[in-house]
Amino acid sequence: MKVINLIDRVAPDGFAVGGFRDDASRSTTLPSHWYYEAEVFAREREAIFFRTWSYQCHVSDLPNSGDYYVGEVLEQSILLIRDQTGDLRAFYNVCSHRAHPLLNGTGNTRGIVCPYHQWCYETNGRFRGARGFTAIQDGLRSDMDLKPIRVETLGGLVFVNLDPDARSLMTEAGTLLDDFRACNPRFEQMVRAHRYEVDVAANWKTVIDNNHECYHCDANHKSLLELVAYKATAKWKDSGITFCHTVARGEQNNGAYAVDDSAVEQDALFGYIWPTTIPLMFPGSCSLALFHVIPLGPEKTRERWDFYFLSKDPRPQEQALIDYCCKTLAPEDIALCEAVQRGLRSRGYAQGRFVADPEHVEYSEHHVHRFQRFVRDAIGIR
């Protein structure tokens, strides 16, 4: 038997795609070293994370003038604030004087005051003043304003983009908002009720690859396949930088959580917004589990689960959904992702293949391929 030296397949520049092709049925996966090398992660940082729409919070987190929320895009601290006229704004959360962070967490303020030297800003980002500012020769007050960031909402979900020239999220997101509304007509009335975070020893792409197929569900998510009727009802749709599939509910009494047929307001919709936002609607009352994949390094990722309901106080079935996602579904997938991440470093593996059959959403990996195409194209390798 001829032994193939898998290491020799890696091009000197570290970014060759090997056998990755536009046709999923003829394509390999992206090379394994794209999932752990610091050079690749650094390129993704500039080409993907600083040029795409990143989920932060919800408009219900900022209902009043002066309300603020501090988020992040990698190491970039982001200040979201409702100004005194009611407009939602986003800025880099850094003082123009000496780079001290301005605010932390959430709260309400009539003005923004840097805790270091007390430079002051309006809630619209305008520089208000500072002790001794007149000593700065040629100091233009407008130069001292906070630096703005693009901010948009999608059905109440708040996103930011560090690229000032980025296309509008509403344009890029295609029909996904309509799909949300079709699944849950009261989608835009929901509020965030709970947040859960957990760190995973895996690359961000490993986590998203896992989420974009149910090929592994038969062996690893028995309760999920009782909750939803994948094999009989799953339908998928691609639209812009998003894709989703809808699935009818399964058994009323299942291993995930009990679904009261008399109170069902939605079936299931499992979606994706490039690059790291995964909206999940599970059967039952009006709900959204917003799964945000936050890259922390080449082999470390934070999973943030935000749960939305019609009230900030979850009802028993809604609490059961939270418990199922946080205590059963997420741990099952985390174990798989961390095992895969270890395997990606094996000298016996360089690239895999896709089982791509869009007629069988219950096991097809065509959306994994589509996601990996997004990655390849963003990095600029053809």
Segment 265-276, tens digit of pLDDT: 999 999 999 999
Confidence of residue 14 (pLDDT cuts 50, 70, 90): low
What value does the mean pLDDT take over residues 199-211?
Answer: 98
Q: How is the chain split into domains, by residue range? A: 60-148, 186-379
If you ran DSSP here, which 8-state letter would residue 369 be given? H
pLDDT at 9: 39
Topology annotation, domain 60-148: Rieske Iron-sulfur Protein (2.102.10)
Cα gap 43→331, rounded to integer Å:
30
pLDDT at 339: 98
Sequence-distant (≥ 6) Cβ neighbours of residue 381 within 8 angstroms: 15, 16, 17
Segment 143-180, tens digit of pLDDT: 899 999 999 999 999 999 999 999 999 999 989 999 99
pLDDT at 16: 86
Backbone angles phi, psi at 364, to 5 degrees: -70, 145
Q: How many C-beta atoms surround the C-beta of residue 85 within 10 A?
A: 9
CA 147, 151, 153: angle at the middle one, nearest 5? 165
Domain 186-379 annotated CATH 3.30.160.100: no
Confidence of residue 252 (pLDDT cuts 50, 70, 90): confident
Cα gap 173→145, rounded to integer Å:
31
pLDDT at 143: 85
Sole residue written with tokens 């007509």: 185
b/e string for 344-375 if b means 16 or more Cβ within 10 A?
A: beeeeebbeebbbeeeebbbbbbbbbbbbbbb
How far, in Å, are 62, 80, 102, 143 from residue 94 at the CA level? 20, 12, 6, 14
Q: In the chain, what is the greatest distance between 2 CA atoms, to the nearest angstrom? A: 79
Residue 367: is its pLDDT beyond 60? yes
Sequence-distant (≥ 6) Cβ neighbours of residue 123 within 8 angstroms: 65, 66, 81, 82, 83, 84, 89, 109, 110, 111, 112
What value does the mean pLDDT take over residues 225-243?
Answer: 89
Give, to the nearest 10 degrees, the angle between helix 204-211 and helix 330-343. 120
Residue 222: what residue type?
K
Segment 39-58, tens digit of pLDDT: 999 999 999 999 999 999 99
What rounded mean pLDDT belongs to the chain? 93
pLDDT at 358: 84
pLDDT at 139: 62
120-121 and 127-129 strand pairing:
antiparallel
Segment 277-298, tens digit of pLDDT: 999 999 999 999 999 999 999 9
More confident residue, 360 or 10: 360
pLDDT at 142: 73
Backbone angles phi, psi at 280, to 5 degrees: -125, 125
- Rg (the chain; Cα; Å): 23
Residue 382: is its pLDDT beyond 80? no
What value does the mean pLDDT take over residues 298-316?
Answer: 97
Residue 2: is its pLDDT beyond 90? no
Segment 62-121, tens digit of pLDDT: 999 999 999 999 999 999 999 999 999 999 999 999 999 999 999 999 999 999 999 999
Confidence of residue 209 (pLDDT cuts 50, 70, 90): very high
pLDDT at 362: 85
CA quadruple 13, 17, 18, 21: dihedral, nearest 10: -160
